[in-house]
Structure 1
Amino acid sequence: MIDRFAGRIGRFIFPAGLALALAGCGSSGSSSTGEPSTTQKLGNILMFQSATPPAPNQLPQDDEVNFICPQVIVADGGAAIRAQSGPDSGSLRSQVSINTVARECTPVGKDGAFTLKVGVEGRILIGPAGSPGNYGAALVTQVMRNNQVIARRSARVGGAIPGGQTGADFSHVEGNISVPAGSGEVEIIVGLSPGGGEPARRRRR
Structure 2
Amino acid sequence: MTGKHRKNRGAAKAAALVLAGLLAACNSAGTNKVENTLDVANSGQSGGAPAIDEIQDPRAFCPQTVLRAGTETYDIYPEGVKKGDEGASSQLKFRATISEVARECNSAGTFLNIRVGVRGRFLSGPSGEPGSFTMPLRVAVTQGENVLYSQLHQIPAEILPGKLNGTFSFVDNNVSIPKPESKNVVVYVGYDEGPYDTP
Q: What TM-score range do you get, normalising by the shorter chain?
A: 0.5 to 0.7
Question: How many residues are aligned here?
Answer: 158
Deviations 1:7-38 (A, max 9, x none): 24xxxx35257x323249xxxxxxxxxxxxxx
Alignment of 1:67-146 (within 5 A): 67-84=60-77, 85=81, 87-88=86-87, 89-109=89-109, 113-146=111-144
Q: Report the Cα offset of residue 67 of structure 1.
A: 0.7
Distance in 2 (CA, whole Å) between partners of 1:64 and 1:144 is: 22
Distance in 1 (CA, whole Å) between partners of 2:56 and 2:121 is: 38
Give the TM-score of the pair, scaled to structure 1: 0.65
Change (3 A) 1:169 1:23: farther
Deviations 1:13-66 (A, max 9, x none): 35257x323249xxxxxxxxxxxxxxxxxx89x8359xxxxxxxxxxxx89662
Q: Structure 1: any 5+ residue segments left out of the alignment?
A: 25-42, 50-61, 200-205
* Alignment counterpart, residue 161 of structure 1, candidates 142, 159, 164: 159
Q: Is the 8 A contact 1:139 1:154 kept in 2?
A: yes
Give the TM-score of the pair, scaled to structure 2: 0.67
Alignment of 1:1-205 (within 5 A): 5=27, 6-8=29-31, 13-16=32-35, 19-23=37-41, 47=48, 66-84=59-77, 85=81, 87-88=86-87, 89-109=89-109, 113-184=111-182, 185-194=184-193, 197=196
Q: Report the Cα offset of residue 81 of structure 1.
A: 1.0
Distance in 2 (CA, whole Å) between partners of 1:182 and 1:129 is: 49
Distance in 1 (CA, whole Å) between partners of 2:56 and 2:67 is: 31
Identity of aligned residues (%): 27
| SS of structure 2 residue aligned to 1:47 | coil
